[in-house]
Each structure stands twice: as structure tokens, then as C-alpha cells.
């Protein structure tokens, strides 16, 4: 690591021994503490796992769906069967199981024509 | 070997064997501190978040080369600081290029293109500072420090690292670290006073 120009090894009076340096450090900490709540860390773990999963081609943090080279057949099979079963239930609820349509009263009522008064 | 060291050695062995659960524990353990350091160094939350993830990816890649000469935490901070310095350089270069492009565009643009912009739209620095809290002013002044000075100031005064750890993270001798810290504090103090003075005016 390169040193910044002007950094002398012959250091000025150790800042830690001077109360000035400590005071400033304390002020700095208290000033920054106020904004600490806004600095709540994000979910680094999820991002880290995603990056690693993508870069390793699914070798690490494999989720079995997005990056796996050999998708688990059983998962797909079970999901497909479950979807078919759900579709069957929905059909049974919406359509009659007997197969015969329910008769609907559909005879037109006689219409009485009233001739207009002369 | 102390029991604590033994435990850390066991944990490092798990990491070296690429144990995913060990990495989950590591991220949960260090994410807050790493994120905070990066946020102070970069001054931007989105950048800090992305860089924090990158730090742990680098740890994952390089943990096999960790010899245990320093504490694991110190080694992680070192990775974070180095990545961060590279990022700062990259962002600075990009900003300069963007600024050049902007200036070139401004030179090419006719004078009439500025119509519709009122003086009320332009924020003067003193107006911008007026609404800021002390924390924001300090944060701004830290970000304006040169990266080498910013680094020691954040690690020592904000994150409370010992001088020994500071030397390990920066790779600098003790005298240089102390001198750099002294100058960083002086620069920060001056910058904050200047900004607060502007605010008072």
C-alpha cells in the first residue's frame, strides 16, 4: 500500500495522548450516532448468496430452480401433479359431475297484445 | 491456544471447506460493521450495499489463503478497505469523465437551451448546507477527505479499531498511521468548522 505524500514516519505528537484528539473522536462518534438508525444494514446475506450462486453456476447456494444444471425431476413432477389436482377440484366445483346439464326453464310466456285505443 | 482462538480456528476451517452455513454465520456476524465502514467510505448507500456483498464474495474466494496471521475480522476489514479504495478510484474516474462529457455538452449547447431555468432552481452551497443536520455535515466532510485519510479516520474514530488492527488493515507502519490520523482529524475539524460557519452565515 502506498503512502500518502507528506506522511512522515516522524509523527507529530501522538494524537491519542492529546485530549484534543480523543475529544474530536468522541464528538465524531456522537455526531454520527444520530444517523445510525438510518444506516440499518440491508440484507447483505441474500445478495451475497445470489451473487455466489450466479458466479458459481449454481454450485453454491443452489436453489434447485434458477441456476441448477440438472433440475430435480421429482420437484417438477410433484408440482405438475399438484397443479392438475387443483384444476380438477376447480372443474368439479364449477361444472356438474354427472355430466348431464341441469334443465333450464326456457318456455316463452304468451304475449298479450293490447291494441291502442281509437 | 486460547479457547476463543480455537473456536475461531474451527470456524475458519469450516469456511475453508466452503461450508455454506458457516458463510451465512459470517455474513450475519460482520455485515453491519462492514456495511457501516463502506457507507462512510463511499457515502452512498446503494454502492455500500453492493460493495458489502462483494466483500463477502471475495472472502469466500480467498478464505483458503488466509493463514491466520491476523484476526479474521481484521482480514475482512482489510478486504473491505482495499475493495473500497479501488471503487472510490473508479467512481472518481467515472465522475471526471462524466464531468468532461457534461462540459463538452454545455459548450456545444446554444445559450437559449437554458431558458426556463430560474435562479430559484439553482441551489447555492450555503442553502444546501442550511437544511443539513450536524451528522450530515460530518458525513459530507468525511466523504470529501482523501481516501487514505478517510480510511484511518473511519477505522479508528468511528469503528474503534485498535492501532495494531489499524496497522494490519492498512498495511502501514505505526508512525505513519498515527501521523495520518492526526492530519485526518485536523482536516475534518477544519472542514466541519468551515461548513458550519457557512451554515451560520
User: What ipTM was predicted for this assembly?
Assistant: 0.75
Is the CB of A42 less than 8 angstroms away from the CB of B49? yes
Least confident of A68-72, A96-100, B119-123: B119-123
* Average pLDDT score over residue span A69-79: 77
pLDDT (0 to 100) of residue B109: 46
pLDDT surpasses 50 at A3: no
Does residue A65 or residue B143 have the better pLDDT? B143
Is the CB of B163 less than 8 angstroms away from the CB of A48? no
pLDDT surpasses 70 at B183: yes
What spatial distance separates the first Cα and last Cα of chain B, rounded to whole Å? 60
Q: With a CB-CB cutoff of 8 Å, which residues 10-69 of chain A face chain B?
A: 10-16, 21, 24-25, 28-29, 31-32, 34-35, 39, 41-42, 44-45, 47-49, 51-52, 55, 60-61
Mean pLDDT of chain A: 73
Instruction: State pTM to two decimals.
Output: 0.66
Q: State the Rg of chain A over Cα.
A: 39
pLDDT (0 to 100) of residue B102: 56
pLDDT (0 to 100) of residue A15: 47
Gap between the Cα atoms of B25 and B55, Å rounded: 15
Amino acid at each position: 500500500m502506498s503512502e500518502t505524500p507528506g506522511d512522515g514516519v516522524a509523527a507529530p505528537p501522538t494524537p491519542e495522548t492529546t485530549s484534543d484528539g480523543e475529544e474530536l473522536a468522541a464528538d465524531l462518534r456522537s455526531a454520527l450516532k444520530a444517523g445510525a438508525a438510518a444506516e440499518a444494514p440491508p440484507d447483505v446475506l441474500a445478495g451475497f448468496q445470489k451473487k455466489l450462486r450466479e458466479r458459481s453456476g449454481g454450485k453454491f447456494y443452489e436453489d434447485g430452480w434458477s441456476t441448477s444444471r440438472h433440475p430435480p425431476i421429482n420437484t417438477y413432477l410433484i408440482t405438475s401433479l399438484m397443479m392438475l389436482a387443483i384444476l380438477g377440484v376447480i372443474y368439479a366445483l364449477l361444472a356438474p359431475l354427472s355430466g348431464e346439464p341441469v334443465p333450464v326453464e326456457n318456455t316463452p310466456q304468451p304475449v298479450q297484445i293490447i291494441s291502442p285505443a281509437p | 491456544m486460547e479457547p476463543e482462538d480455537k473456536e475461531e480456528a474451527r470456524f475458519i476451517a469450516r469456511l475453508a471447506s466452503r461450508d455454506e452455513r458457516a458463510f451465512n454465520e459470517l455474513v450475519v456476524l460482520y455485515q453491519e460493521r462492514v456495511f457501516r465502514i463502506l457507507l462512510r467510505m463511499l457515502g452512498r448507500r446503494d454502492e455500500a450495499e453492493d460493495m458489502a456483498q462483494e466483500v463477502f464474495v471475495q472472502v469466500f474466494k480467498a478464505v483458503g489463503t488466509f493463514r491466520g496471521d491476523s484476526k479474521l475480522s481484521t482480514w475482512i476489514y482489510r478486504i473491505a478497505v482495499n475493495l473500497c479504495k479501488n471503487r472510490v478510484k473508479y467512481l472518481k474516474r467515472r465522475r471526471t469523465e462524466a464531468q468532461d462529457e457534461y462540459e463538452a455538452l454545455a459548450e456545444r449547447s446554444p445559450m437559449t437551451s437554458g431558458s426556463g431555468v430560474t435562479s430559484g432552481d439553482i441551489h447555492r452551497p450555503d442553502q444546501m448546507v442550511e437544511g443539513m443536520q450536524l451528522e450530515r455535515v460530518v458525513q459530507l466532510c468525511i466523504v470529501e477527505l482523501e481516501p487514505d485519510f478517510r480510511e484511518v479516520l473511519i477505522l479508528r474514530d468511528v469503528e474503534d479499531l485498535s492501532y495494531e488492527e489499524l496497522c494490519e488493515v492498512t498495511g502501514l507502519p505505526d508512525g505513519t498511521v498515527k501521523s495520518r490520523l492526526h492530519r485526518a482529524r485536523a482536516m475534518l475539524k477544519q472542514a466541519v468548522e468551515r461548513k458550519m460557519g457557512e451554515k451560520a452565515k
